[in-house]
Amino acid sequence: MRQGVNKTDFWEERYLKNKMPWDIGEAAPAFVKYFCSRDLPRQVSTAWQAPTGLKIAVLGCGRGHDAFYLANINNLEVYGFDFSESAVKFCNEAKEKKNLKNIFFYNVNFFDLKKENQWKGFFDFVIEHTSLCAIDPLRRKEYADLIKYLLKPKGKLAGLFFIRPIELGGPPFGITQEEIRDLFKNNFAEVEKLHYESCPHTFTGEEYFGVFEKKVQ
Ligand SMILES: C[S@@+](CC[C@H](N)C(=O)[O-])C[C@H]1O[C@@H](n2cnc3c(N)ncnc32)[C@H](O)[C@@H]1O
C-alpha cells in the first residue's frame, strides 16, 4: 500500500472512478479563513490589490478547489501540481471556463520539482492540503525539504494536516502534531500554531491548520 501511493496510477484510478473522499468540492474553510483574515477578499475585487506577483504553490492540488479560490484574489499567481492526469485535465478545463489567466497547472510528480532550477525559491506560499498524508510516510523528510526548496526566505507553508494515529494505515497516513513540528523545526518557525479547524471531509475531526515560515539562513 505504501509503495502504491508513490505511483501516479494509484491516484489516477481514484479520479477515474470518482472515488475521492478528500474532495469537498470547494476550498477548505481553513484557507478561506486564513487568507481572508489577511484582508485578502474572497472574490475578485478592484478595490484591493495583493502585492503584485505573489506566487503560491498548491502541492497535490487535485481538482484545484483551493487553487481556484486563491486565484480569485487579485494579483496572486497560483501554481497547482498533481501527478493525476485527469485531475489536472479537470483543472485546465475549469480554468478555461473561468477564463483565469493567473493560474497554472502542471501534471508532474512534485518531488521532481527539485530537479528544475526554475522553482528554487520561487514561491511566497506553499499550500499543503491532504498531500503530506497522501505520500509514503518514509518520504516526509524529502517533502519538507521540497517545501524549503520551493519557498523564498520568509515564505510560508500554510498547511491543513491530518492528525491521526499512523497505526490506522492509509492513505491518509496519520501523523502527530509533534511529528509535524519536528519535520519543520530546523528550517521553519511555527508562526501560526497548529490548531483544530473543522473541514467537511470524510475524516472530519482530524484536521489541524498551521503556518510555518521559512527561516532566513
Ligand atoms: C488526498 S488527495 C488531495 C487533493 C487536494 N489537495 C484536495 O484536497 O482536494 C492527494 C493528491 O495528491 C496527489 N499526489 C500524491 N502524490 C503526489 C506526487 N508525488 N506528486 C504530485 N501529486 C501527488 C494525488 O494525485 C492527489 O490528487
- Closest ligand 1 atom to residue 28 Cα is 8
Q: In the prediction, which pLDDT does 4 show?
A: 87
In the block, cell 485546465 appears at 92
Per-residue pLDDT of 89-134, as tens digits, reads: 999 999 999 999 999 999 999 999 999 899 999 999 999 999 999 9
Nearest to 136 by CA among 160, 98, 188, 172: 172
CATH architecture, range 4-214:
3-Layer(aba) Sandwich (3.40)
Dihedral of alpha carbons 49, 214, 6, 116, sign: positive
- Closest ligand 1 atom to residue 110 Cα is 20
CA of 89 to the centre of ligand 1 (A): 14
**Domain layout of the chain by residue ranges:** 4-214
Which letter does DSSP use for residue 6 in this model? G
Per-residue pLDDT of 151-179, as tens digits, reads: 999 999 999 999 988 888 889 999 999 99
Ranking 18-32, 48-62, 63-77, 123-137 by mean pLDDT, the lowest is: 48-62
> Model-level pTM?
0.92
Q: What share of the chain is helix, strand, coil (3-state, %, to 5)?
A: 35, 25, 40
Q: Which residue's CA lies nearest to atom 27 of ligand 1?
A: 62
CA of 58 to the centre of ligand 1 (A): 10
Beta-strand ranges (E) seen in the chain are 54-59, 76-82, 103-107, 123-129, 151-162, 188-196, 207-214
Kindly list the protein residues whose Cβ atom lies closer than 6 A to any atom of ligand 1: 11, 22-23, 60-63, 65, 81-84, 87, 109-111, 129-131, 134-135
Q: Which residue's CA lies nearest to atom 13 of ligand 1?
A: 60
Decide if 17 contacts 55 (C-beta within 8 A): no
- Closest ligand 1 atom to residue 111 Cα is 19
Read off the pLDDT band of 46 (50, 70, 90).
very low
Ordered alpha helix ranges (H), 151-209: 177-184
